[in-house]
Structure 1
Amino acid sequence: MQKKLGTNVGGEMLEAIASAKDVNAQLVLADRNIQTTLLRIWRKLSLWEKLKLIFSLTFSFGEDTEISSEDLQELLKEDMLESAISGLRKQFPAVGQILISERDQYLAYKIKNAPGQKIVAVLGGAHVPGVKKEIFKEQDIESISVIPPKSKISKITAWIIPALITGLFVYAFIMNIQTGLNQLSAWVLWTGLLAALFTALCLGHPLSIITSFIAAPITTLHPMLACGWFAGLVEATIKKPTVQDVQNIQEDIFSLKGVLKNRFLKTLLVVIMSNIGASIGTFIAGTGIIRNLL
């Protein structure tokens, strides 16, 4: 079995598809499901690491992401790639492990198990060094293909807080209908406005902002729903992510300018920011209700 590892940046997958069609070769998509990768990153990050990643993206907004062809060729050198990946792993170990190392393992496993006697593997430049090492190893493919479950604490908290807030609303209406309406109005305004504000901060579509405002007061009282899901669905429907957006995730994810340009990552950012705004609104409105009633 012959295997060839090649590099190209940005359009390598489109070129591979076109070349496969030209020679009538069987095309095998070898990368791990992007949803699995992103959910593994989010579930593995601690609260501090999540905040650190968001702040890192925010403060990189002003960076110039335009590079010349000479810069690109220099970046493609293995030592430059190794240095960039090493820096990523130092700053965000979990992100580097899941986004790069685990996918190196996954890609190597898929390449080794691809059908046919002659195989051409087309990879992004950042994966070539890792896949070269992994290709001769055994991979535990099952352990890197599953989404980690939520922690027990987060599951319990997800039910306790809505139940507590709902109980306070009932208590407020029992005391006085006007009191109940005042507390309910405060809840709607705080959760809705902050969810909408945070969606607007990441330049979400106006309809996504409106969706955040409408969905937040309801979803924050239901442990199985999230405001960001609805806002993200609207964002993705209006500005549909492309294949190119998915291919560029690895390059775009580490700058806010890249995230805002990439429709897939932009949708993910809308989901996250909308949820953060709704959560802050829940805390402010919830503590206000407790203070006013108790």
Structure 2
Amino acid sequence: MKDNIIKLNYQDKEIVLVGTAHVLKESAELVKKVVSEEEPDSICIELDEGRLHNIKNPKAWENTDIIQVIKAKRVGFLLANLVLSSYQKRIAQELNTTVGQEVLQGIECAEEINAELVLADRSIQTTFLRIWRKLSFWEKGKLMFGLLLSGDQENEVSDDDLKKLMEEDILEAAMADMRKQFPKIGEILISERDQYLANKIKNAPGKKIVAILGAAHLIGVKEEIFKTQDMEKITEIPRKSRVSSVIGWTIPVCIIGLITYGFITNIQTGLNQISAWILWNGIFAALFTAISLGQPLSVLTAFVAAPFTSLNPFLACGWFAGITEATIRKPTVQDVINIPTDIFSVKGFYKNRFLRTMLIVIMANIGSSIGTMFAGVDIVKNLF
């Protein structure tokens, strides 16, 4: 455990970095021991306000409204978050402990010695949005598939695994293989957060500071303490790609233009093009919704909505199908509670109403996109 403690002198401050694993009881004991010995003026924890609220109120998320998630266009973001948090909870259960014990211990210690509690981590929403916005559509799909596969493991945690947990933060461990395929993720998830954490830690009030970190950040933060960080740069939410925006508008404009030209050439040609557009879009969106075991009305909604939403970049067929599904077959609190176990199996995804609604949103959108491609080809063929 001594290897997980680093002491630094920065300007007139003494900083003690404590590397932990978020699912080990030993980490909580280490935090208590270090704080007792050091008696710091400030205790920094690797959390933002949102995650602190979730840890203090573990059942609050059980009331998550899936319809509001869909309306806020956060289905993909929430699914990625759920996969990672569920993986973390699974490891914690195997170790017969709870997630974030060392953080709770840090909070308790701060209250006991009247030390300043500093939330030193960047907002998890900012982190995920920076990752999400910098990945292409196909990279996002590969990432989600890889995360689901990494979590779908039934092996027990070995002694070697326990040792590794003290060397690498569990959230980062879940994405270790992903970082090899997606260097952007490693930069945003680790390097940028090292910078953010270091800045918050060295600017914490008082002369002596104890910082409780995931072990994966220990070395990076140590090096960043003595550097200057561009906080504005690493907290900025990247704008959506202009290319995707251009494509989003180019396709509808081209389709409308082709159909208009079809009518000018021959009324029957124009009618055939409209039929092709409606049928290809509607059938594929409905088919993919049905594959997700959506209610008949959800399937019908996907069929009706797809031809219209495919012409409007601000709308998505899956939103309408998902909202219909969630209204008819409303997810229960128990569905939300079961997410950590259900999310890593096909059977679990289908039986869990919350997860199935998310699946319908994603699948209906995929179906509509495929339908758009086939419809486009058919519309062009109708001109000749």
Question: TM-score of the superposition, structure 2-length normalised?
Answer: 0.55
Map 1:69-108 to 2 at 5 A.
70=159, 72-78=161-167, 87-108=177-198
User: Which residue in 2 is equivalent to 1:67?
Assistant: 156
Residue 381 (structure 2) aligns with: 291
Q: How does 1:30-69 map to 2 (within 5 A)?
A: 30-46=120-136, 49-50=139-140, 52-53=142-143, 56=146, 60=149, 63-68=152-157
Structure 1 residue runs without a partner (length 5+): none
Contact 1:30–1:107 under 8 Å retained in 2 = yes
CA pair 14-210 structure 1, distance change in 2 beyond 3 A:
farther
Q: Which residue of 2 aligns with 1:8?
A: 22
Structure 1 window deviating more from structure 2 (178-187 vs 163-172): it is: 178-187
Once the two structures are TM-superposed, the CA of residue 64 in structure 1 deviates from its matched residue by: 1.9
Q: 1:148 aligned to 2:235?
A: no
Equivalent AA in structure 1 for residue 107 of structure 2 = A
Which whole-Å CA distance do the structure 2 matches of 1:169 and 1:132 have between them? 62
CA distance in 2, matches of 1:102, 1:170: 50
Alignment size in residue pairs = 285
- The residue type paired with residue 163 of structure 1 is V
Change (3 A) 1:200 1:67: farther
Structure 1 residues 187 and 123, CA gap change in structure 2 (3 angstroms): farther
Q: Which moved more, 1:234-243 or 1:173-182?
A: 234-243
Cα distance 1:160–1:274, how it changes in 2: closer, same or farther (>3 A)?
same
Q: 1:109 to 1:170 in 2, by over 3 A?
A: same
Kindly provide the CA deviation profile for residues 148-173 of structure 1, in whole angstroms up to 9, marking residues without a partner as x.
Answer: 23343333222121112123344455
> Quick one: distance in 2 between partners of 1:102 and 1:267?
33
Please give the per-residue CA displacement for 1:122-149, whole angstroms capped at 9, x wherever unaligned.
Answer: 4445444433443443221211222223
Gaps of 5+ in 2: 1-12, 24-87, 89-97
Q: Which moved more, 1:214-223 or 1:78-87?
A: 78-87
Contact 1:192 1:214 in 2 (8 A): yes
CA contact (8 A) 2:134 2:184 kept: yes
TM (norm. structure 1) is: 0.68
Query: Separation in 1 of the partners of 2:129 and 2:357?
Result: 14
Structure 1 contact 12–123 (Cα < 8 Å) conserved: no
* Separation in structure 1 between the aligned mates of residue 175 and residue 383 of structure 2, nearest angstrom: 53
In 2, Cα distance between the equivalents of 1:102 and 1:263? Answer: 36
What is the one-letter code of the residue matched to 1:7? A
> Would you say the 8 A contact 2:198–2:225 is kept in 1?
yes
Deviation sequence 1:234-256 (CA, Å, 0-9, x none): 789955897998xx9xxxx9x88
- Aligned CA distance change for structure 1 residues 84 and 224 (closer, same or farther; 3 Å): closer
d(CA) in 1 for partners of 2:156, 2:368: 37
